[in-house]
């Protein structure tokens, strides 16, 4: 029996060039096994199950932080109010508040109150609502308002004219009737 050698035939094979392997996309080199697919599925399931819980946790932490800020602001307000209440125990503070808010003065003192100086700070001469300049001297009114009111009441009560026919008296002092 002749010796039996396995028949092997050698065939030359050309290897791909090094540049050809570089043009393949990266995902072609990935190999998935059953275990890697199982782990990927578990990770996806884990994310789907925990995502709503994480969102709720984040919302609750934001609410807690907001409530803590509100509590801190209220504590600051309470401490400020306690300081205000403590100030009212001081007689000098009470006196200053009575002078400022209620315009109280001691007997013999003179108090001057400047009206309307808060809103306007201009160098021009101040005027009244009707446009007349304000004088620094005391003036007598041009209209006797008591007499004008009395005559208006008597005229409206004793006349036979309708309401539309009656003319209102002039209280502005300009001489115009409206």
Residue 76, pLDDT score? 96
Residue 74, pLDDT score? 97
Residue 129, pLDDT score? 74
Q: Give the integer Cα–Cα distance in Å for 96 and 88.
A: 11
Residues 100/94, Cβ–Cβ less than 8 Å:
no
Low-confidence ranges of the chain (pLDDT < 50): 178
pTM to 2 decimal places: 0.36
Residue 56, pLDDT score? 93
End-to-end CA distance of the chain: 148
Residue 173, pLDDT score? 56
Residue 67, pLDDT score? 97
Residue 78, pLDDT score? 96
Nearest CA-CA partner of 88 in 101, 76, 75:
101
């Amino acid at each position: 029996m002749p010796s039996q050698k396995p028949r092997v035939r050698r065939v030359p094979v050309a290897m791909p060039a090094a540049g050809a392997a570089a043009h393949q996309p990266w995902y072609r080199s990935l190999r998935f096994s059953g275990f890697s697919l199982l782990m990927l599925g578990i990770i996806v399931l884990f994310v789907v199950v925990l995502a709503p819980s994480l969102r709720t946790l984040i919302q609750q932490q934001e609410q807690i932080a907001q409530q803590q800020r509100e509590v801190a602001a209220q504590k600051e307000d309470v401490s400020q109010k306690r300081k205000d209440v403590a100030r009212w125990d001081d007689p000098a503070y009470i006196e200053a508040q009575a002078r400022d808010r209620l315009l109280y003065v001691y007997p013999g003192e003179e108090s001057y109150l400047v009206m309307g100086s808060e809103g306007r700070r201009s160098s021009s001469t101040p005027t009244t609502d009707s446009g007349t300049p304000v004088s620094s001297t005391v003036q007598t009114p041009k209209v006797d308002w008591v007499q004008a009111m009395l005559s208006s009441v008597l005229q409206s009560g004793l006349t036979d004219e309708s309401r539309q026919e009656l003319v209102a008296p002039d209280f502005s002092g300009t001489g115009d009737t409206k």
